[in-house]
Structure 1
C-alpha cells in the first residue's frame, strides 16, 4: 500500500502545502482520503483524477473537502474523459448530508440549482458502521470527537493497516481506530498547551500518546496549522512515543 501526501496543512493551505488530502494506492486501485483546498491540483502530479476508484471524506470542513467542487467540474465538463463518468460514477463515501452540502458548494446561486444534483457523476454513500470494500481496500469508519460529525478511517490492504484520524480531539475511539496499525496518520494541529479547547484537535503529544496506547508501529504527523511550530510538535511527539515518528510533507510518498 502506497500513501501520497497531496496536502497536509491544517485549517487552510499553507505556503508549502495544500490542505488535507491523501492518496492511497494498492494493486492498481486508488482511493483518496479527503480533498481539501488545493489537493486536486497536487493529485494531477501523480495520477489522472479520473483514475480514482473512490473518495472518502472524514468530515465536511472546507480544509478537508473544498476541492470536491473542482472534482465535480472535471468529471462533468472534461471534453475528452478517458471513460464516461456518468456510466462509471465515482463512489463518494461521506457524511449523510454531503450531497446537499456539495451541491451548495458546486452551485451556490439558487439559479444554478438545476445543475446541482451531482448524482449523474457521483455515487453518494453515507458513512456507516459496516466496512466499505474498494478493490483490495477495506475501509472502516470510526466516529471521533470534533466540532461536527467526523470520522477516522482504518484502511487495510496487502496485509497492512493504516489509520487516519481526520480531525479529532482526544477520545477513547482513537485507540480502537489505531490498534496495532502499521501506520498512524494523525492530525497534530498544534503544540501542547494547557487551555486547548476540548473536542477539536490533537497536539503532537496527544497524537503520540494515541500511537503508544494503540501499539502503532509508526506515527506520521499531519494537519499542522501554518502558524504552529512544526519542530516543537515533532519534539513533543518523539518524547511521548518511541516508535518511528515524522512530520509529513506535501508530495511525499510513503510505503505502508
Structure 2
C-alpha cells in the first residue's frame, strides 16, 4: 500500500500546496484472473485536482472518500466532475464518492446541477454506511465520527503490506479534521502511519473541538502508531512549531507532509 500526498495545506490552498488530498494505492486482483492498481483518493480540496492528474487517470479512480464537506476537503470534486463529463473522448465514469450526510446535496451545489440534472453518470455518490466499513478492491476503508464543528469522520485504510509476503496488512489512519476524541483514538490503534492534521499551535489557539495541534497529534500517535506524518497546516501555521510540539511527546519518526511525498507501507 502506498500513500502519496497531493495537497496538504489546511483551511485554504497555500503558496506551496493545494488543500487536503491524499492518494492511496495498492495492487490487487482485478476480478478477471489478473492484478491491477487500485486507487482511493482521501479528500479532494481546493486546487488538488490538477496535482492528482500527475499521478492517476481520473476515470481509473476507484473511490473518492470524503472526511467532511468543508471546501478545503471537497471543492475540487467539481473539477473531477467536469473532467469526467466533458472529456473530448467522451463521458467517463462513474467514480464512486463516499461522504457524510449531505454529500449529494453539497456536490450538486458545487457542480451547479439543476434539480432535474443527474450527476450519477459521472459520480456515484453514497453516504458512509452504518459502521463505516467499505471494501475497495484490496483496500478496506473504515470511517468513524471525529470531533469537528460539522459532521466529520476519520478514515482507517487497511491494505496489503508493500513487498512483504504474509506479514499482515498495513494500516494507515487519516484523521481528517478533528480535535482529540475517542473516535480518532480508536482508529489510530496499531496504525503503521498516522496522517494527522495539525492546524493549530499550542500557544496560539485555545479554542477546542476544531483541530489538533502538533502536541495533540503527537499524543495521539504515542503508543498507537509507528510513524507520524503532520499535515493540514494553514499558510499561517509554522511547521517548525508543530513539529517541535509533536517531538516533545512522540518518540517515533515524524515527517512533514508535502506534495509528491510518498510512503510505502
TM-score w.r.t. length of structure 1: 0.93
Corresponding position of 1:23: 23
Is the 2:65–2:98 contact (alpha carbons within 8 Å) kept by the matching residues of 1? Answer: yes
Between the aligned partners of 2:205 and 2:241, the Cα distance in structure 1 is 17
Shift of 1:149: 0.0
Query: In 2, Cα distance between the equivalents of 1:130 and 1:147?
Result: 20
CA–CA separation in structure 2 for the residues paired with 1:229 and 1:123: 38
TM-fit CA distance, 1:113: 1.1
2: CA distance between counterparts of 1:199 and 1:98?
22
**How far did 1:193 drift?**
2.6
Q: Does 1:177 align with 2:187?
A: yes
Kindly report which structure 2 residues correspond to 1:29-40, keeping only aligned pairs within 5 A, or say none: 29-40=38-49
How big is the shift at 1:114?
A: 4.9
1:91 matches 2:96: yes
3-state SS of the aligned residue for 1:170? coil
The alignment partner of 1:19 has SS state of: coil
Scaled by the length of structure 2, what TM-score is found? Answer: 0.90
For structure 1, the 5+ residue unaligned runs are none
Confirm or deny that 1:190 pairs with 2:200.
Answer: yes
Contact 2:21–2:42, Cα closer than 8 Å, also in 1: yes
Q: Distance in 1 between matches of 2:63 and 2:17?
A: 23
Higher helix share: 1
Moved over 4 A (4+): none
Q: 1:78 to 1:189 in 2, by over 3 A?
A: same
Which consecutive residues of structure 2, in runs of 5 or more, have no partner in the other structure? 28-36, 161-168
In structure 2, the partner of 1:143 is: 145
Q: Is the 8 A contact 1:99 1:118 kept in 2?
A: no
